[in-house]
Every structure is written in structure tokens, then in C-alpha cells.
Amino acid sequence: MAEAHQAVAFQFTVTPDGIDLQLSREVLKHIYISGVTSWKKRAIRFKNSVLTGVYPASPSSWLFVVIAIMSTMYARIDPSMGTIDKIKTSLPVSEFMTVQTQTVLSAILFATGLWLSVIFLLRYLLKALLSYHAWIFESHGKMSYSTKVWLSLVKLLSGRRPLLYSFQGSLPHLPVPSIDDTIRRYLESVRPLLDDEQYKQMETVANDFKKDPAPKLQKHLKLKSWWATNYVSDWWEEYIYLRGRDPIMVNSNFYTMDLLYVIPTYRQAARAGNVVHAMLQYRRKLERGELTPLRALGIVPMCSFQYERMFNTTRIPGIETDFVQHLKDRKHLVVYHRGRLFKVWLYYGGRHLWPSELELQFQRILDDKSEPQPGELKLPSLTAGNRVPWARARLKYFGEGVNRASLEAIETAAFFLTLDDEAHGYDPENIRSLDLYAKSLLHGKCYDRWFDKSFNLIVYKNGKMGVNTEHSWADSPIIGHMWEYVLATDCFHLGYTAEGHCKGDVNKTLAPPTRLQWDIPKACQEIIEGSYRIAKGIADDVDFHGCLFNEFGKGLIKKCRTSPDAFIQLALQLAQYRDKGEFCLTYESSMTRMFREGRTETVRSCTCESTAFVRAMEDDTTTNEQRLALFKQAAEKHQNMYRLAMTGAGIDRHLFCLYIVSKVMGIDSPFLKQVLSEPWRLSTSQTPQQQLNLIDTQKFPKYVSAGGGFGPVADDGYGVSYIIVGENLITFHISSKFSSPETDSFRFGQNIRQAMQDIRALFNQKEKKM
């Protein structure tokens, strides 16, 4: 046992002369190094907090201001207009505080106050500038003079080398839209889905709500927006995610895939070693704030708040609500393999383990032939089932002894790693390979992922891998940012030997991974089995299809002078109509990260303009010129709605918060109740590529991401995630439920493919005529 191996480092014996302590010099060395490392981290964090706190200025600028003020005083010029003299008179006179010392100290205090005032002024000006959003509504390639001036000012005030969190204090707060605008846009969004009579009824209910109680609810919501950093995000996390009592597996968690065509090594332990080391490198950059903040146009900063809880984070189950536990400086991870759970230390001698050392540790786990303890095999399925049984079991059976210690090891780990005993990935000769790969990442066997961890890294026995992410702490672009770094670092910086092993020497003196110990009684094993059955039923009902569309991509769509996202969303509307013969309420996720602590907003993609275009496509009497004109109107409408959502003028988050206020105040609103109960039968999301400089896809065309996806949102609907990769590839991840007779993921994929080609044909015919 590893504990026994480490215990010999500290021994004592009782002698007639007292207690004789025997300390190992090697252990003392490691204790010393750990202490030094810990203090170094504290010093770096303090330094970064200072740099972030005074940004866009720098600590050295304080010295410049002090020297400037002292110089003017030496020249007998008083730039403070008497303020320094007033400060001087308030300082005590003593033998230690001479008149000259008072003068110098007064000047330093004045200079410091002036320096801080300038910092606050610069931040206020930058915040005011970042509240300007007219630039986002301007046509692509056309920039007004006012926007050019605005961009120059933002660039000037943004500083030269910002840290990850440097702009947090300068980001504007998310504005609360007016009731009139939200109601108008809502009615506009449901018009294509309702007949005349239904629309009149909805209009009446909405207008009644506008008169009362909307003004009262709006007043309280504005009060919150003045007080809170973001009037949506805390309620969104609590009520949409943490208060949900249904299983989070499939229903909430989402997945991200590996590179589509490439497997750098077929050695499972080696791939895990490189990737875990790359994640530790990313975590170090994250903790030090050294990551470059994401900026639109390379200038406008995005909020970085969600990055804080990426590592060392676990969703803890509760009876009524869960909570997110985030810790610092976690130095281990937990590994699941063939029903056994292992604790692996990530540090040695005050440094990260090298990839070769991690490979050794993971290979030791793969070579371990021990059997799972009673109840251990399916223990993680507690996190896959309903939340209340898991919360009660956690309190009753995991509150003391070895169970508590082992559960604490999982919940305090940096993240969770599964060394899967299956092989997955994309195989061009197997049409179902991408589907099975997606299902494995989304739910696995229902007992081999710890779904409560911020993310699970899954490495398959053929070297392929992926990530399953818990949704409450962040949205997909956040984990995607880390994943892009990891893939690039793994393939182009760390690399592998000719035999597929990690590079570097192997330190075989490392203590082996530690088996977590469990004492799980029969009653708890029955609860585990019950959670597994529920999770298995959910997993078996997921109908998944991965659709690789490589007939054309972003490059050709841009030549059509159309937004790629609008093009795809209209193709999805056409595919939906052909699939079901009707339109439905459609959800597209947009981000609001131009505001502090912003997360997402909904773009309602089914519009009057999009339905008119789809009907024209299905009407043989309509000419292609008419169809193309309707397409352009629908695409422009979609782009405008997306821009409104990004700039805080969306519909759904505002209505959601009004609903929460109404429930807290005990006010019953038929309008809000109806709005919040409407099902999203088509839920869509684009996976963005954020760091295009990491991998040159022109030079390495096979090193492209496969994106990721999520489970179906409605019982009789589709979930569609897509990623636009390079110039000639779009990957669609389509989910639905086998239990619904109305849906078929493969059929919907074929409808998307045909819709994309049919829309492209409109432009082809236009080009021929020209």
C-alpha cells in the first residue's frame, strides 16, 4: 500500500530517555519544496491581483507619478494647488517625523491619490466605451467613422499586455431591457407558430401582463441590476441548473470530441499522460492569469469570470438544491478503470509530474488486475441518477470513515479521469462510428463517469479521447478554450516517441497510485443500482447521429455574402419543416460575455421571415429569384436578432428573471407561466473556434476538431450542435429520443444535408445567370 510506503518516512521510538524522533531527510526535503512552491503561488497570485487591480495602469506608473510630483516640488511648483500642504498639516510632528519627512510623505500620499484617481477615471472611460454596441450592427466590411474612432479609443485605454482578468472591472453591467421591447419581440417570435385566433389570445394575455404586474416586477429587477454584478447569471445557475432534481447526465452535461481524423498515439496511458500534463500547464496559466483574454475584433474584451471554476470543482448534491464547491491548489486526480477508483498525485518535488511519469502511473493502473470492491463498480452511477436519492445516500453512507475519505478524494480532485476499456472514434468505413463515439462521451456505461465533476477526461484504449462537462459552472466555449490548448500542446509541443510513448525519462521510484477504499452496505448498493437503472433508461433512449458535411463550408458561404451561422440556421428550419411538416419554437444559444459575468441568451431562430423562405422553398410556383430574396431577408433578420441577444436586448433571460421575481413576490402571472412552459423542440448551438492560431489547418488539414454536442431538450424534439471547421467542413451532432415516434436523428441529418445543398443551389443558379 502507498500509505505504508510513505509511513516509514516518519518513525518514533519510546526510550528511557524519552521519545526518539526519526525523520527522513528525503521527506523533509519534499516538505520544504512543497512549502516553497506554496509560497511562490501565493506571491504570484498577489502580484497578479495587484496588476489586475491597477489595470490599465501598472505599478511602475505609480513610481513615475511620485517622481513627477517630487520633481515639481523641487522646482517650487505646487501641482496639488495646496492639497499637499493640507495633508502635511494633518500629519503628526515628532522626533521621528521631521518637517522634511512630512513634506515627502505628503507628496507621496498626494501622488498615490492622484494615481488611483486616474486609474478609476480610465476604468470608467473604458467601461463607458465598452457600453457602445453600434459597431456590432454595422454591415460586414463597412465601418463608420464613429466606430473607427471608438475602436482607437478602446485600444488606447486597453493597455498593452492585459492578464486574463484585467478587464473584469471595466466591463459594463448587463442592461435590463424595457418591458415594451421584450413583449414586442416575444409576440413577433411566436407569430409564425400561432394561427390568428391563438395569436390574438396571446396578444391579449401579453398586454394584460404589460399593464400589471409587469411594471412592479420590472422595478424590482432593475433594483437587482443596480446592486448585483449581473442580474441574470446567479439566478440562471441556481434555478436552471442547481435546483433541477432530474439526472444531469444527458439532460444537462455536454461533451467535446477529440481531433476528428488523427490519433497521435494508440497507447492509452501515453495519451492520458500527455493530455493530463497539458491540462496542468493550462491550469497553471489560468491560476496565474497568464492566458490572453478573449477579445472580439481583437480589441473588445469578453468576460473571463467562468474560467475561475474550471478545475478543482464539483457539484455537490442536496435535497432541495445542489451547490458548486470550488477549491484551490488541488494536487491529485481520481482515475476510474474497470470498476476501480485510484488516487494519483500530480506533483513531485514541487513540480508537475512529467508526461512520462504520468504515463507510468496510468500504465500501473491499467496493469492492476485487482477486482472492484463490493458496490464500487457502479458507484459513480449515483451522479447519473436523480439528485435527491444521491443527496440522501451521500449524507447517510458517505459521512464518515473510509467512505468519507474516499468521496472527499473524488470531490476535491483537480478533475476526473476515466481510462475506458472500449475503443471509439471516427471511422469512415463505419457510418455509426461517430454516433457511438458521441453516446459514449455523453453517458458512457452510466457508471464510469463522475458526472458531478466540473469535467471528466475520457481516454479510450485506442488512444482516442474526449471530455464530458458539467454545465452549471460554465458554458461550452469555456471548456472549448481549454480543449483547443490541450489538443495543440499534445500534438505539436509535447509529442511522442517513435514507439508512441511520452517523451522524457521515467522515474520509477514514484509511489504507485492509491486504491480508494470503500465500505458500502447492501442498502447503499441497492440505491446505487436504482440510480443505474434510471440512468440506463435515459441513455438507451438517446438516438444520436453525427453528420459530417464536407460538400462545402465557411469559405463558399462567405462568397455568397451570408453569415455562415445564419445560413446553417435557415437550413435547420428547412430541415425541420421537411422532417415534421411544421415549424416549432427554436432555441439558438448566443453569448452575453461582453458584459460582466455574462453567460448566454436565446436567439429565437424561427421567424416570420424564415418561415416565408421555407414555404417558398417547398412551393414549386416560386422562382429561385424570389426564394433567394426571401433567404436574404431571413438571414438579415437572424443576424439582427443574434446581435440584439449579444448586446443584452434578448427576450428569454429578461422574461425568466421577471418570472423569478413574480414567484418570490407571490404574484401569479398566466403570461409568464405560459412563456416558461413552452417546449423548445429544436434546440441548437454553435461550437466556436476561439484560438485559430494554435493549429494551422492549412498546413495540417487533418488536425481539425470534431466539436461536441448535448442531449435532446424536448421529448419529441431535436438537439443540434454544429462546428464550422476550416473552409470546407461542418460537423453536426444531432440528438433525439428513440421513444418519440416523431423523431429520427439519422433522418434529420439527411434532411440537414439536403437543405444545405438546396440553399447552395440558389446561389449556383444566380452565378450561372451572371
- Mean pLDDT over 452-469 rounds to 98
Decide if pLDDT at 390 tops 80: yes
Query: Cell 433522418 maps to which residue?
Result: 747
**Selected residue with higher pLDDT from 372 and 95:** 372
CB-based contacts of 693, cutoff 8 Å, min separation 6 = none
- Mean pLDDT over 748-759 rounds to 97
Reference 177, options 595, 525, 526, 515; nearest CA is: 595
Instruction: Give the separation between CA 518 and CA 701, rounded to whole angstroms.
Output: 48
- Mean pLDDT over 591-609 rounds to 96
Mean per-residue pLDDT over the chain, rounded: 91
Instruction: Give the separation between CA 48 and CA 178, rounded to whole angstroms.
Output: 39
- Mean pLDDT over 503-525 rounds to 94
Instruction: Give the separation between CA 497 and CA 275, rounded to whole angstroms.
Output: 15
**Selected residue with higher pLDDT from 70 and 304:** 304
Using one digit for the tens of pLDDT, what is the confidence trace for 115-156? 888 888 988 999 999 999 999 998 877 888 999 999 999 999
Query: Which cell is 118 given?
Result: 486616474
pLDDT of 2: 37
1-5, 105-109, 456-460: which range is least confident on average? Answer: 1-5
Catalogue the active-site residues.
Answer: 471
- Mean pLDDT over 589-609 rounds to 96
pLDDT of 118: 87
Query: Which cell is 575 given?
Result: 430541415
Instruction: Give the separation between CA 182 and CA 648, rounded to whole angstroms.
Output: 11
For the chain, counts of helices (H) and of strands (E): 24, 22
**Strand, coil or helix: what is 515?**
strand
- Mean pLDDT over 250-269 rounds to 97
Domain 543-646+682-770, CATH number (from 3.40.50.970, 3.30.559.10, 3.40.50.300, 3.40.640.10): 3.30.559.10
CB-based contacts of 167, cutoff 8 Å, min separation 6 = 55, 126, 158, 293, 301, 304
Instruction: Give the separation between CA 263 and CA 661, rounded to whole angstroms.
Output: 51
Using one digit for the tens of pLDDT, what is the confidence trace for 160-205? 889 899 999 999 999 999 999 999 999 999 999 999 999 999 999 9
Reference 341, options 375, 370, 296, 376; nearest CA is: 376
- Mean pLDDT over 392-412 rounds to 97
Taking CA atoms, 217 is separated from 223, 649, 666, in Å, by 10, 18, 11
**Selected residue with higher pLDDT from 47 and 343:** 343
Decide if pLDDT at 9 tops 50: no
Using one digit for the tens of pLDDT, what is the confidence trace for 60-102? 888 888 888 888 877 778 787 878 878 877 777 766 667 777 7
- Mean pLDDT over 532-557 rounds to 95
Please, is 217 exposed, middle or buried when counting C-beta atoms within 10 Å of its C-beta (0-12, 13-18, 19+)?
buried
DSSP state of 191: G
Q: 700-711 in b/e burial notation, b at 16+ Cβ within 10 A? A: eeebbbbbbbbb
pLDDT of 29: 60
Query: Which cell is 443 given?
Result: 453517458
Q: What is the DSSP string of 299-341?
A: TEE---GGGGGSSSEEEEP-SS--EEEE-S---EEEEEETTEE
Tell me the domain boundaries of the chain.
2-47, 55-127, 181-211+648-678, 256-540, 543-646+682-770
- Mean pLDDT over 608-622 rounds to 96
CB-based contacts of 641, cutoff 8 Å, min separation 6 = 603, 604, 605, 607
CB 48 within 8 A of CB 289: yes
pLDDT of 78: 78
- Mean pLDDT over 669-678 rounds to 94
- Chain centre distance of CA 112: 39
pLDDT of 697: 82
Identical fold for domains 256-540 and 543-646+682-770, yes or no, is yes
Beta bridge partners of 161: none
Name the percent of the chain lying above pLDDT 90. 75
**Selected residue with higher pLDDT from 101 and 606:** 606
CB 706 within 8 A of CB 258: yes
Q: Domain 256-540 adopts which CATH fold?
A: Chloramphenicol Acetyltransferase (3.30.559)
Instruction: Give the separation between CA 477 and CA 486, rounded to whole angstroms.
Output: 14
Using one digit for the tens of pLDDT, what is the confidence trace for 346-366? 998 888 999 999 999 999 999
Query: Is the pTM higher than 0.75?
Result: yes
Which long-range contacts (C-beta less than 8 Å, at least 24 apart) are formed by 218-226?
A: 218/176, 218/179, 218/658, 220/661, 220/665, 221/176, 221/657, 221/658, 221/661, 222/176, 224/657, 225/173, 225/174, 225/175, 225/176
| pLDDT band per the 50, 70, 90 thresholds, residue 23 | low
